[in-house]
Structure 1
């Protein structure tokens, strides 16, 4: 099992990243604004199921890589660190989303929104890359079974992301109006998240290279 200190660091990083403005948040907000809170919650639930499927697939795959080729696992961690650096740079360069633009979506039933949200999450290649880059960085071989650690970390991330998405769904009207009057908020969210990703990637790469 990951240590309390590691879980705390991971949870804080996950919370900050989940709260950052992004496609999923805007999608849930659009659904909530167009069809109400229940539609937004259905979208959040579908995205969460998609994330859980990725968690399971990622945990089993990474555990197999670690078991049969520790060198390949180290290479994957370095590649993941490089990807986190890339994400950090891209996030820092992002333009703030236009919170005054209310996205219009086709009215659907809650069940259809839920199913579509699962598909949206599963067909997003950035989600797969993020799990491959993010989760391995917090695994410690001396802390127990790699599979268990990956599952725990993945579940923590999915739970935090779900809570943040449900918050967006419940407060979408107020949140949308608030963001419209605080145009600098998305800008600083991107700056903080980008700096976190960039710093995390650099630290992990340096730590891996030092240990090698």
Structure 2
């Protein structure tokens, strides 16, 4: 596989990851409030790895040819983001320094939520289906499945390299500022709700059009 193709996709992937979205909101909420950065980011990585496996297995194109499947995925993703946003806003109302419920700060819970944020994002799947294939070559020495796996791994790696520092920066900057932490958490939660509703509205308007 040509290194230029990998480098080109890496540049595009970094640009896409750097644009604020559901992943940003989730990582900031985790870092600013409960400071569970690594499990949250690991969850995002697992979610994108699952999408990579779906595309490698050839199931991705099958989903895009079935509107009902994409509708279910969109509704599930939008609903999950909205639900997570509501939980994040409610968590921001806790008194700083007060004991929290075990499940609220469980690393495993943040891991699972991270998987849901990325794996249930239909736009993430569409990115893998529409952009990633442009950097593969059917006539290349490597099979297409291997090329997709490499590029998907690059995306997952950049996800970690970008969001881990972002999460720890939120922890470092906001950790000693309870008031600012509450505001940031509420903004992150509101962003998840808006993104979830916007995702659902976009799909509905697309169907109507």
**C-alpha deviation, 1:40, in angstroms:** 2.1
Quick check: 1:22 aligned with 2:21? yes
The 1:14–1:32 alpha-carbon spacing in structure 2 relative to 1, beyond 3 Å, is same
**C-alpha deviation, 1:120, in angstroms:** 2.4
Counterparts of 1:176-191 in structure 2, within 5 Å, are none
1:30 & 1:105 partners in 2: Cα distance?
Answer: 12
**C-alpha deviation, 1:12, in angstroms:** 1.2
Residue 126 of structure 1 is matched in structure 2 by 123
> What TM-score, normalized by structure 2, do the two folds share?
0.59
1:42 & 1:138 partners in 2: Cα distance?
Answer: 30
Residues 44-88 of structure 1 show CA distances to partners (whole Å, capped at 9, x for unaligned) of: 11010010011011122079x7xxxxxx9xxx9xxxxxxxxxxxx
**C-alpha deviation, 1:174, in angstroms:** 5.8
1:5 & 1:127 partners in 2: Cα distance?
Answer: 23
> Which of the numbers 42, 50, 53 marks the counterpart of 1:53?
50
What runs of 5+ residues in structure 2 fail to find an aligned partner? 66-87, 92-103, 175-179, 181-209
Residues 136-170 of structure 1 show CA distances to partners (whole Å, capped at 9, x for unaligned) of: 11111121311111111111111111211111111
2:107 & 2:38 partners in 1: Cα distance?
Answer: 9
**C-alpha deviation, 1:32, in angstroms:** 0.7
Q: Report if aligned partners of 1:44, 1:162 keep a CA contact under 8 Å in 2.
A: yes
**CA RMSD in angstroms, aligned pairs only:** 2.7
2:113 & 2:172 partners in 1: Cα distance?
Answer: 25
Quick check: 1:149 aligned with 2:155? no
Q: Report if aligned partners of 1:43, 1:113 keep a CA contact under 8 Å in 2.
A: yes
Residues 22-61 of structure 1 show CA distances to partners (whole Å, capped at 9, x for unaligned) of: 110121001110012xx12211110100100110111220
Residues 91-110 of structure 1 show CA distances to partners (whole Å, capped at 9, x for unaligned) of: xxxxxxxxxxxx64633311
- After the TM superposition, which segments of 4 or more aligned residues of structure 1 sit over 4 Å from their partners? 173-176
How many residue pairs match? The answer is 139
1:30 & 1:145 partners in 2: Cα distance?
Answer: 40
**C-alpha deviation, 1:126, in angstroms:** 1.6
Residue 186 of structure 2 is matched in structure 1 by none
Judge which range, 11-20 or 146-155, deviates more: 11-20
2:161 & 2:112 partners in 1: Cα distance?
Answer: 19
Q: Report if aligned partners of 1:121, 1:127 keep a CA contact under 8 Å in 2.
A: yes
> What TM-score, normalized by structure 1, do the two folds share?
0.58
Residue 38 of structure 2 is matched in structure 1 by 41
> Which of the numbers 158, 161, 166 marks the counterpart of 2:159?
161
Counterparts of 1:100-139 in structure 2, within 5 Å, are 104=89, 106=91, 107-139=104-136
